[in-house]
Amino acid sequence: MESRDGEPRSKGFWDVQVAGVPLRTIVPVVLALLTSVGIAVVTLMPASNPDAAPPVVVPTGPSVVTLPPAGSPPPAGSTSPTSGTSSTGSTKPTPTAPAGKPPATPTLPSQVTIMLDDLTAVFEQGKTTPQYANIVNDHDGCGFKAGWASFCTARGDLFTVVSQYTDAVPDNALRRYLPVLQRLGETHSDDTSQLGDAFVNDWRATATDRRFDDAQLRVGHELFLTPALAIANQLNIRSSLGAEDLFDTALMMGPSSSDCDGLPKLITESIIEAEGTPASGIPEQKFLAAFNKIRLKHMRNPCTAGRQKVWTAAVDRVQALQELADKNCWNLNPPLIVGADFNLTIRTPSE
C-alpha cells in the first residue's frame, strides 16, 4: 500500500490479518455475534418483576379465628334453622361423600336439622325422638331440666321457653310461673321449691300442645344451634356431623365466650391442637378429632362449678360422635347407629 505521495505506508493495527482477513473486518462481525448472544440470554432469563405475585407461603402455625358472639346469626348464605326447617325449605338429603372425607356442603337441610334434634334426644333422654314432656330434677345444679333440650330453671333458658310460648299462646297453664322462673334464671338458683309438683304436672300437660313443642325447638335452635352454625361457617366446617359436634357442645357446655368450658373456648384450644382449621387447609376430620379430644379433656376436668360428676358421666356422647366420624357418617344419613353406651338407631328422623 502506498501513501498519497507515492511512498509505501506502514501497516496499522487494523491492517493485521488473521487467516488472511484483516482485523477491521473481523472485529465488527465478532461484536455483532456477542451482542446477539447477549440479547438472547436476557430474553430467555426470568424477568424480575416487582409486581409479580410472591411465592406461596404455607402457614405452619395455628390460624387466628375471631369467633362470633353467642346468639349471633349465621353469615349470609347459611341457613337459619328455626323450628326444624331450613331457610330454603329444602328437604333434599346431602349427597353422600366419598369414604373417608366429609361432604363439602355449607347448607343444613331440614332433614339434617331434624336428625340433630333426634340426636339431642338420644344424648339427653336416651330416646330417638324429642321428649317435650320430659321434666326431672337430678340435683346437679340445674334445678328442673325440662323438655327436649333439658332446659334449666337455673340457667334461664327454661324461662325463655315459657316466655316465648306465652307470647304465642297467652292463655296457658305455665304463664303463672313466669315471675319465679325469671328470678331463678337471673340468680342461677337451682331451688325448685316454689315451683313444686304443680309445675311438673302443668309442664307435662302443656307438652301435648304442638305449639309448645315448636317453642322448645325454636329456643333450642336460637340459643345453641345458631351460634354453633355461625362458628362452623367461619371455620369452614361443612359436614352435618361437624355441625352436630358444635351444636351438642354449645347445648351442653355453653355457647358463649364467657363460659369457661364453652364452645368458643374449646374451639380456640382445638385450633392450637390441630395447628389450624379447615379454613386454613386442615382436613375437617383431623380438626374435629382434635376438637373431640379437647372436649373430653374439659368434660373430665371442667372449670365450670358443679359439672365434674355430671360431665364425667356424659363422655359417652363425645365418644359416640367420634365413632360416627370413624365410620364416615358425615352426612348423618338414616338409619344412624349411635354407639358408645347408647346403642340406639335413628331409623326415620321425625318429630
pTM score, two decimals?
0.72
SS3 assignment, position 190:
coil
- What are the φ and ψ backbone dihedral angles of 91, each rounded to 5 degrees? -120, 10
What pLDDT, on the 0 to 100 scale, is given for residue 199?
98
CB 299 within 8 A of CB 314: yes
- Round the average pLDDT of the chain to a whole number and report it: 79
* Nearest in space to 144 (alpha carbons), one of 186, 184, 95, 90: 184
CA 272 to chain centre: 15
Domains of the chain by start residue, with CATH: 110-124+223-351 (1.20.141.10), 133-206 (3.30.386.10)
Residue 27: pLDDT above 80?
no
Write out the three cell numbers for 126.
336416651
Condensed to tens digits (0 to 9), the pLDDT of residues 228-244 reads 999 999 999 999 999 99
What pLDDT, on the 0 to 100 scale, is given for residue 117?
97
Positions annotated as catalytic residues are: 124, 140
Condensed to tens digits (0 to 9), the pLDDT of residues 293-329 reads 999 999 999 998 888 889 999 999 999 999 999 999 9
Alpha-carbon distances, residue 160 vs 63, 121, 290 (angstroms): 36, 20, 33
What pLDDT, on the 0 to 100 scale, is given for residue 140?
87
| 126-138: average pLDDT | 96
Residue 45: Cβ-neighbour burial (10 angstroms; 0-12, 13-18, 19+)? exposed
